[in-house]
Amino acid sequence: ETGVTQSPTHLIKTRGQQVTLRCSSQSGHNTVSWYQQALGQGPQFIFQYYREEENGRGNFPPRFSGLQFPNYSSELNVNALELDDSALYLCASSSGTGVYNEQFFGPGTRLTVL
């Protein structure tokens, strides 16, 4: 069974640029959630995709957007990067959206915005 993978591992961008982060879900999982973990804080929910549709969204502006593909892999896109976007971005996959569907996390992408 292949676990959740994310790419790239690290990324450095400058303010105003755009970035795309990628996530491959665990085999058999159709749901992907994205979280932002700022330094010294717990992860904050960005949004969730279920069967290629956005299933819910946290308190993040529209410049944070996403996609889920037919193979259930996912992308997180962030436009007009700001310094405060510097964080560890975590992707989690699950076999559904219910409470019994445990979320399995990837290793994360460390984004630094200069």
Partner 1 sequence: AQSVAQPEDQVNVAEGNPLTVKCTYSVSGNPYLFWYVQYPNRGLQFLLKYITGDNLVKGSYGFEAEFNKSQTSFHLKKPSALVSDSALYFCAVRDRYDYKLSFGAGTTVTVRA
45 binds partner 1 (CB under 8 A): yes
33 binds partner 1 (CB under 8 A): yes
Give residue for tokens 């700022």. Answer: 38
In this chain, which of 1, 40, 62, 71 binds partner 1, going by CB under 8 A? Answer: 40
Q: CA gyration radius for the chain?
A: 13
In this chain, which of 90, 93, 111, 113 binds partner 1, going by CB under 8 A? Answer: 90
Beta bridge partners of 31: 50, 94
Whole-angstrom Cα distance, residue 83 to residue 87? 10
Stretch that binds partner 1, among 13-21, 53-61, 64-72, 73-81 (CB under 8 A): 53-61
Other CB atoms within a 10 A radius of the CB of residue 65 amount to 17
Using CB under 8 A as the binding criterion, the count of chain residues that bind partner 1 stands at 27
58 binds partner 1 (CB under 8 A): yes
> What's the distance, Cα to Cα, between the start and end of the chain in Å?
38
Question: How many CA atoms, within 13 angstroms, populate the side-chain half-sphere of residue 109?
Answer: 26
**Which of 103/113 has CB closer to partner 1?**
103
Could you list the residues that contact partner 1 (CB under 8 A)?
4, 6, 33, 35, 40-45, 48, 55-56, 58, 90, 92, 97, 99-100, 102-108, 110
